[in-house]
Structure 1
Amino acid sequence: MIRYALKCANGHRFESWFQSGAAFDTLQASGMLACAVCGEARVEKDLMAPHVSAESAPQAPCARDDTPVRAEERPLSTPANPAEQALQRVRAFIETHSENVGQDFARRAREMHAGAAEARPIHGQAKPEEARQLAEEGVPIAPLPFDPDIKSN
């Protein structure tokens, strides 16, 4: 495994791990890489320095103003970029304003859509086939950009 410092055409800096240097080259040539912040497909290797001392602290991605932020200055539970911050706010809103019905999501969503149960905000898990059937039946559903069962720090 190899870790590269990367930079997108919009100037966002981030890091990613690859199986090898050749794997990075293959993914880049096929257009399969994207910026971790904005999704830009034009990504290239950024200036990197080797890790030479066990005492030197690793650096987190640069702040929005390109000022390096040392990892020990930012708790791991703090989102590293605006996209992570927005996702954290979305997750907090959904978890605060809806009920997690777990694996019972498909049944409950279908009952509310049919009028057999009171309509209210819910979230949970559905198998891909269940989600497809709900969509075909016209039940308004949307995938969440996070797994509600996994606790964030």
Structure 2
Amino acid sequence: MKVLDLQCPHGHRFEGWFASADDFESQQSRKLVECPICGAHEVSRLPSAPRLNLSGATDSKAPAGMEQMQAHMIRALREVLEKTENVGDRFAEEARRIHYNEAPARSIRGVTTPEDARALVEEGIEVMPLPVPAALKEPLQ
């Protein structure tokens, strides 16, 4: 098993586990490797060396606190997914129905176009874009 240090174009660093370097190359060419934070498929391999457990040594692969921050972001995203109803591509329609008291008030999530999102904001309906990595779109365990 090969553990590779990877990074997306947005600077998110993470590890990937592959059967071999060829396995990584194969998966990357088929766009199967993605950033667990933002879902970007443009992933590059970072230079890495064997990790040694030396007293006083620090891990230089990520800035201090970055891995903790990414873990908190993933936990927060999971919580949002657990506590909202997915209305899919009916997001704009359902947000309007809730806003105009035509449907029960509840927290929803879904997909809409940038134009529809702007129109919702202009109507006074609060919306927030939330990119969700594909790995988190799977059923939560």
TM superposition score normalised by structure 1: 0.48
Corresponding position of 1:47: none
Question: Which consecutive segments of 4 or more residues in structure 1 shift more than 2 A?
Answer: 14-18, 34-37, 65-69
Matched, 1:67 2:67: no
Between the aligned partners of 1:145 and 1:90, the Cα distance in structure 2 is: 12
Between the aligned partners of 2:88 and 2:123, the Cα distance in structure 1 is: 20
Corresponding position of 2:101: 115
How far is 1:90 from its partner? 1.3
Corresponding position of 1:135: 121
Corresponding position of 1:46: none
How far is 1:84 from its partner? 1.4
% identity of equivalent residues: 30
Matched, 1:95 2:81: yes
Corresponding position of 2:25: none
Unmatched segments (≥5 aa) in structure 2:
14-46, 52-56
TM superposition score normalised by structure 2: 0.52
Between the aligned partners of 1:98 and 1:142, the Cα distance in structure 2 is: 13
- 1:128–1:82 Cα change, 3 Å: same
Matched, 1:144 2:130: yes
Between the aligned partners of 1:110 and 1:118, the Cα distance in structure 2 is: 11
What letter matches 1:151 in structure 2? Answer: A
Between 1 and 2, higher relative CO (CA 8 Å, sep ≥ 6) is seen in 2
The structure number with the bigger radius of gyration is 1
What letter matches 2:81 in structure 1? Answer: E
CA RMSD of aligned residues (A): 3.5
How far is 1:95 from its partner? 1.0
Corresponding position of 1:86: 72
What letter matches 1:135 in structure 2? Answer: V
Residue 135 of structure 2 aligns to a residue in which SS? coil
- 1:137–1:17 Cα change, 3 Å: closer
How far is 1:83 from its partner? 2.5
